[in-house]
Amino acid sequence: MEKSFDFEQPIVEINKRVDDLKKSSESSNVDLSEQIEDLEKTRDELRQKIYASLTPWQKIQIARHPKRPYFSDYIGLIFKDFLELRGDRVFGDDQAILCGIAVIDGESVVVIGHQKGRSLEENVSRNFGMAHPEGYRKALRVMNFAEKFNKPVITFIDTAGAYPGIAAEERGQAEAIARNLRDMSNLKVPIITVVISEGGSGGALGVGVSNKILCLENAYYSVISPEGCAAILFRDSSKAPEAAKAMKITAKDLLDLNVVDEIVKEPLGGAHYDPSKTATNIKTALNKYLHYYKSKSSKEIVNERYSKFRNIGVYKEDSKGNYKTSYNKNKGGDDKSGGKV
């Protein structure tokens, strides 16, 4: 294991003992297969137990794993015939957002996503997946292209947030994101979003105003990072684990609050353990929703998207502090509350 977390140390130790037994068996010609099998069984049971009870902070650590698949990895695993589209036709091309046309099981779609880098050099060129305004303008240009040619839009979210630097502000960062929020709300083709790792603030929402939002099991989606929240609320960024729990930003919390529509399962240990399996799970979910929207009119698509976001945050809390959303997806999500509970 190239990188392990604190909570994975018991697994790492068992793996080391398994490796030592295998080497000893080869060098001494002694059959230790039974002992090795017992250890591997213990390890697998332990992994099941550990990953069944991860804390929110541990899930965030997995979401940030350096070997976790990026958008470009999923392009190759899910789609065919990807053709990249560059530039915002105003300033330039932002490599933090990757856009293009692709084919998924015979259907032509437009795909857009945040793109991080593996090496330091690539991360600098892609600005660690934090887009400038030209990135959001490029994304919107490609979405308008999709609407013109009646192609579904699929977006992949993987960013700590939009770039907050002076250059980005000078070129209209807030305006670019706000324009995306407005225009995506009215786009007449379906938009399906997949949160694959980090989903940070307006940087994520700038390509996330969608009909359906899918979230990988260990991904998170939040207005601010746990570290940022802890620094503001507790004046101590080291309290990020406590903040992560309070913020309710894990996939399960987001599903319970109707912020996301479906959790996409990951292999045990995280998406980086088996990117192909993760991609297959994402593709299955995407095909389901692409098929669903084929029978929907543009008016129905826009109205559904409006209802979805109109009802986020509408919930009830009982005397014990347990919350329950008052938005019923099974009834189409029509807002009959007027925004009040």
**DSSP at 265:** P
C-alpha–C-alpha distance, residues 132 and 147, integer Å: 23
For the segment 305-328, the average pLDDT, to the nearest whole number, is: 75
For the segment 305-316, the average pLDDT, to the nearest whole number, is: 85
For residue 336, name the pLDDT band (cuts at 50, 70, 90): very low
Contact 106, 178 (CB under 8 A): no
Q: Give residue-wise pLDDT tens across range 81-125.
A: 999 999 999 999 999 999 999 999 999 999 999 999 999 999 999
- Kindly report the length of the chain: 341
For residue 330, name the pLDDT band (cuts at 50, 70, 90): very low
The reply to whether the predicted model has a pTM over 0.85 is: yes
Angle at the Cα of 308 (from 174 to 211), degrees rounded to 5? 80
Q: Is the pLDDT of residue 214 over 80?
A: yes
Spell out the domains of the chain, with CATH numbers in brackets.
9-53 (no CATH), 65-314 (3.90.226.10)
Q: What is the pLDDT of residue 324?
A: 65
Q: Is the pLDDT of residue 337 over 70?
A: no
Q: What is the pLDDT of residue 149?
A: 97
Mean model confidence pLDDT for the chain: 90
Q: Give residue-wise pLDDT tens across range 241-258.
A: 999 999 999 999 999 988
C-alpha–C-alpha distance, residues 126 and 115, integer Å: 7
Residue 24: its H or E element: helix 9-28
Better-predicted residue by pLDDT, 38 or 79 = 79
C-alpha–C-alpha distance, residues 4 and 20, integer Å: 19
Contacts of 296 (CB under 8 A, 6+ apart): 190, 304
